[in-house]
Amino acid sequence: MTVPDPLRVVLVGAGLMGRAWRDTIEAAPDVELAGIADIDPAAAAEAAAALGRPVPTGTDGVALAAATGARAIVNVTVPEAHHPVTTAALFAGLDVLGEKPVAPTVAQALSLAAASEVTGRLFMVSQSRRWNPQLFALRAMAEELGAAGSLTTEFFRAPHFPGFREEMAHPLLVDMAIHPFDSARFVLGAEPVAAYCESHNPPWSWFAGDAAATAVFEMTGGVRYTYAGSWCSPGRQTSWNGEWRLSAEKGSAHWDGDHDPVLEAEFTPAARTPSPFSGIEGALVVFTDALRTGVPPMGEVHENVLSLAMVEATVRSADSGRRVLIDDVLAEAHAEAIRNEANPDVRDALAAWPSVRGVLTGG
């Protein structure tokens, strides 16, 4: 694949996270910010003004990419806009690096995976916390520790978020827990099979929806992943990554989420080279490398969808009081995606998938 150097990209979405991406793109040596788009033209103009050089702005990312000769977009819009903005970009021949979540629903995420197949364009989801070098170290420890038994994450914080998070039905599960769920898949090298979850809202909560939840996942290979969290937890705070413990055949590994993880075992761990990637900067490097090499990156849309399926399964379990099979979530999402698909080529691609899990996991 021929990719110009630098890679010209349009940033779509100039909100809080969009401005972090603007600075990251601007600082990247082999990427050039060609324009900034936002449906709110004042937001785009304000984000561009801070750059100290003229940068074109607009309200439509795809039109702006065409006008500026950009080759890709970075989609940092609100989750509800992820599907329409990314679909339009893929069909305009643009590659896409998109913020998490891939889409608000697994059905929309499947549609995006199929759109990427039909167009042949790369769609990578930036799940920023996966690109943490400490998490890579934890994964390396997990590999050395042999068969995994249990992995746990505790996440207890007390943030105030004026706005949509304080009004959502499941703010912790939907807005935050996707990060540790995605990280758990990575650490274990395992995929979710089933989820049981209870959520509740402590009486003192300043959230309208359930700000606390406990979830147990059965993962492939029989290992259990347990997540316990609260977003209205005054007192001792965990890190934003949460506190992690892995119990495995040959010992254990612990990560406080802020420092290097610690291994406790009766063998000497191998020397490790730290991962060179970190946060959204890491995701951008991996995206540009993938365009140059043609090798699908971690976070490629198919690979990301099961993290969102874990979120959807926990919400469904919390609402129903039942254990939920991930394959049921995928089957229903697949049927919904086919039913709602407006593009006949994408619908045909979805309908041709022999197995949703198989397509998502490359099996």
User: Residue from 67, 78, 92, 169 that binds ligand NAD (CB under 6 A)?
Assistant: 78
Q: How far is it, in rounded angstroms, from Cα 315 to Cα 309?
A: 10
Integer CA distances (angstroms), 112 to 56, 105, 289, 318, 360, in order = 28, 11, 21, 27, 12
Q: Is 85 in the site for ligand NAD (CB under 6 A)?
A: yes
Query: What are the Cα distances from residue 7, in Å, to 26, 32, 87?
Result: 12, 6, 20
- What binding mask, one character per residue, do residues 125-154 give for ligand NAD by CB under 6 A, x or -? ---x--------------------------
Site for ligand NAD contains 15 (CB under 6 A): yes
**Binding test (CB under 6 A) with ligand NAD, winner from 95, 99, 191, 312:** 99
Query: Residue 103 and residue 330: Cα distance in Å, rounded?
Result: 14
Contact segment (CB under 6 A) with ligand NAD among 14-22, 287-295, 300-308, 320-328 equals 14-22
Rounded to an integer, what distance in angstroms lies between the CA atom of residue 217 and that of residue 226?
Answer: 6
Stretch that binds ligand NAD, among 10-18, 242-250, 260-268, 333-341 (CB under 6 A): 10-18
Q: Do 13 and 77 touch, CB atoms closer than 8 A? A: yes
Total count of residues recorded for the chain: 363
| 192-200, strands of its sheet edge to edge | 262-265, 251-255, 243-248, 148-156, 224-230, 212-219, 192-200, 324-325
| Among residues 28, 39, 45, 228, the one that binds ligand NAD under rule CB under 6 A | 39
| 41 versus 222: smaller Cβ distance to ligand NAD | 41
Number of residues that bind ligand NAD (CB under 6 A): 21
Q: Which residue stretch of 79-87, 141-149, 242-250, 345-353 sits at the interface with ligand NAD (rule: CB under 6 A)?
A: 79-87
The residue ranges that bind ligand NAD (CB under 6 A) are 12-18, 37-40, 43, 76-79, 81, 85, 99-100, 128
